């Protein structure tokens, strides 16, 4: 009986010992200073190289034994985080079994040249910083069926898409000109994702883009994140784009696509014949005066964060000014409207509908601590965001003729005292949100509801009389008020 018991104990211990070595997908083990993560636990058994604490030149093998019973094929490299691969690594040789290069690979390394084997078919989209600050060149095996490289820059095989520019690759000439080679049609959106990803090495140095005849698609980041860009130049036989005075336009729709952020002209008039402007076309532009000339519509954020802008001239043919078309222009002091416009008018620099009954936009930098509404015709409506960000207005009496005030109408303005008209039945959502100087407001007896965030963060508003007719107050109406 004792022998039988000992036999079962021995079998139990043997089972425990075997199970202690069992590995599953996701487990990480280290061999010769390189960490591997199991990605497949059936034939073919595969792992991903995920990091190393080594330094100098390292070679990732095509196969690695787990120390127990399985030899894995290394099919991918990646980083678990930004420091997975040690900063002391100066060169990494990848095996011909690698199919995937994932994110964070090389981010902390000192590698200057990355050789990409013919076997690689999937490379993660990354900004320059994620490839490591020392990386200067991609070198792709000519036999690779999906990728190629030219002057250290990574492209798809046919070179129709520019995929990645190494952090330390200065692809501009001595004048800051970045010439995009044919047959490139587009640039991956990650390439210019953030100016912080290429400090003083690429984005800040670019002063001109030269686009080939093959170029078809301008990624938004290419325009938004190059602060010193002064001009676009386009091949004459390009069927999609053309440039005039350094500004980029779409040929078929005759749309102003991108005004260079670093262009230093004090004034700009959109060329005759151009009827459309793209969203973010004027982003942080440096001019002080903008004449839209023959433009007929403006989309949201068409004129965005132009801190020098003081005057906008609305053309006679402008049919639609989308809400938010002019956004975050803190020094805008005056709107002008050309004669003959059937939709808009200007009074004392303030933009109205043509009939004068709706106040659309009060310029953020219009001087004067008060404003007198016109009476002929009488104003009936204050539009959404109309006084948003107005930094000089302090005292305002809304006339009795006004029966509607839109959402965010006075958001983040400098209003201190305001009297609302009898007949107004609601305070719309976020009407006075962020009005930190507001100390006094007189609500009419006609008010029935107060919307969400109506007085959010009005930190100087210590008391308010709520009319008896009010039946609805949003639970966030007075959030973050004292």
CATH of the domain at 422: 3.80.10.10
Domain assignment present for residue 186? The answer is no
Domain assignment present for residue 411? The answer is yes
Q: Count up the domains in the chain and report the number.
A: 2
Domain assignment present for residue 142? The answer is yes
Query: Between the CA of residue 194 and those of 203, 226, 327, what are the distances in Å?
Result: 9, 9, 21
Residue entry with tokens 């210019």 = 192
Domain assignment present for residue 463? The answer is yes
Asked if residue 263 has a cis previous peptide bond (ω within 30° of 0), the answer is: no
- CATH number of the domain to which 112 belongs: 3.80.10
Q: Which of 110, 134, 169 is the last residue of a domain?
A: 169
Domain assignment present for residue 282? The answer is no
H/E stretch holding 274 reads none
Q: What are the DSSP calls for 126-190, one per residue?
A: --GGGG-TT--EEEE-TT-SSEEEETTEEEETTSSEEEE--TT---S-TT-EEEPPTT--EE-TT
For the stretch 8-45, pLDDT in tens is 444 443 443 333 357 899 999 999 999 999 999 999 99
Domain of residue 71, residue span: 22-169
3-class state of residue 470 by DSSP: coil
Per-residue pLDDT at 225? 85
For the stretch 51-89, pLDDT in tens is 999 999 999 999 999 988 899 999 999 998 768 899 999
* Cβ-based neighbour number of residue 326 at 10 Å: 26
The pair of structure tokens assigned to 29 is 């083990």
CA distance 184 to 73: 35
Per-residue pLDDT at 21? 54
Q: What are the DSSP calls for 423-434, one per residue?
A: T--EE-TTTTTT
Q: Are strands 147-150 and 153-156 parallel, antiparallel or unpaired?
A: antiparallel
Q: Which of 169, 200, 228 is the last residue of a domain?
A: 169
The pair of structure tokens assigned to 435 is 């009005």
Q: What are the φ/ψ torsions at residue 347 (nearest 5 degrees)? A: -135, 115
Query: Between the CA of residue 275 and those of 297, 318, 320, 337, 467, what are the distances in Å?
Result: 7, 9, 11, 16, 49
* Cβ-based neighbour number of residue 354 at 10 Å: 12
Domain assignment present for residue 426? The answer is yes
Domain assignment present for residue 231? The answer is no
Q: Which of 169, 200, 218 is the last residue of a domain?
A: 169
Residues of the chain with pLDDT under 70: 1-21, 82, 127-129, 194-201, 482
Per-residue pLDDT at 128? 62
Per-residue pLDDT at 119? 98
Domain assignment present for residue 465? The answer is yes
């Amino acid at each position: 009986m004792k022998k039988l018991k000992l036999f079962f104990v021995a079998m139990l211990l043997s089972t425990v010992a075997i199970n202690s070595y069992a590995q599953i997908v996701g487990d990480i083990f280290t061999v010769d200073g390189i960490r591997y993560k199991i990605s497949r636990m059936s034939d073919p058994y595969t792992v991903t190289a995920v990091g190393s604490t080594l330094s100098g030149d390292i070679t990732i093998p095509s196969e690695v034994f787990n120390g127990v019973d399985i030899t894995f094929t290394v099919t991918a490299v990646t980083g678990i985080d930004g420091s997975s691969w040690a900063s002391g690594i100066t060169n990494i040789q990848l095996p011909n079994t690698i199919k995937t290069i994932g994110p964070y690979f090389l981010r902390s390394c000192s590698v200057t040249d990355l050789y990409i084997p013919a076997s690689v078919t999937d490379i993660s989209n990354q900004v320059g910083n994620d490839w490591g600050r020392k990386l200067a060149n991609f070198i792709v095996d000519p036999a690779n069926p999906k990728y190629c490289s030219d002057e250290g820059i990574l492209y798809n095989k046919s070179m129709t898409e520019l995929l990645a520019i190494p952090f330390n690759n200065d692809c501009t000439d001595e004048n800051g000109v970045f010439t995009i080679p044919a047959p490139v049609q587009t640039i991956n959106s990650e390439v210019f994702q953030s100016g912080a990803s290429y400090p003083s090495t690429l984005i800040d140095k670019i002063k001109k883009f030269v686009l080939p005849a093959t170029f078809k698609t301008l990624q938004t980041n290419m325009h938004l994140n190059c602060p010193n860009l002064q001009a676009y130049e386009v091949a004459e036989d390009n069927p999609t784009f053309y440039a005039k005075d350094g500004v980029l336009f779409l040929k078929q729709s005759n749309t102003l696509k991108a005004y260079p952020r670093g262009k230093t002209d004090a004034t700009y008039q959109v060329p005759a014949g151009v009827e459309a402007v793209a969203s973010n076309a004027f982003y942080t532009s440096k001019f002080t005066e903008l004449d839209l000339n023959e433009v007929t519509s403006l989309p949201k954020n068409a004129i965005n964060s132009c801190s020098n802008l003081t005057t906008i001239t609305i053309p006679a043919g402008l049919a639609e000014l989308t809400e938010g078309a002019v956004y975050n222009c803190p020094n805008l002091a005056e709107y002008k409207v050309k004669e003959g416009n059937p939709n808009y008018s200007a009074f004392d620099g303030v933009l109205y509908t043509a009939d004068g009954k709706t106040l659309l936009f009060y310029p953020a930098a219009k001087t004067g601590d008060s404003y007198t509404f016109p009476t002929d015709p009488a104003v009936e409506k204050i539009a959404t965001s109309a006084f948003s960000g107005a930094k000089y207005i302090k005292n305002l009496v809304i006339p009795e003729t006004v029966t509607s005030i839109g959402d965010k109408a006075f958001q983040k303005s400098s209003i201190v005292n305001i009297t609302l008209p009898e007949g107004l039945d609601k305070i719309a959502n976020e009407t006075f949100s962020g009005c930190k100087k507001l100390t006094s407001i007189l609500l009419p007896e006609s008010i029935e509801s107060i919307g969400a965030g109506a007085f959010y963060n009005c930190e100087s508003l210590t008391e308010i009389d709520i009319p008896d007719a009010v039946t609805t107050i949003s639970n966030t109406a007075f959030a973050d008020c004292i």
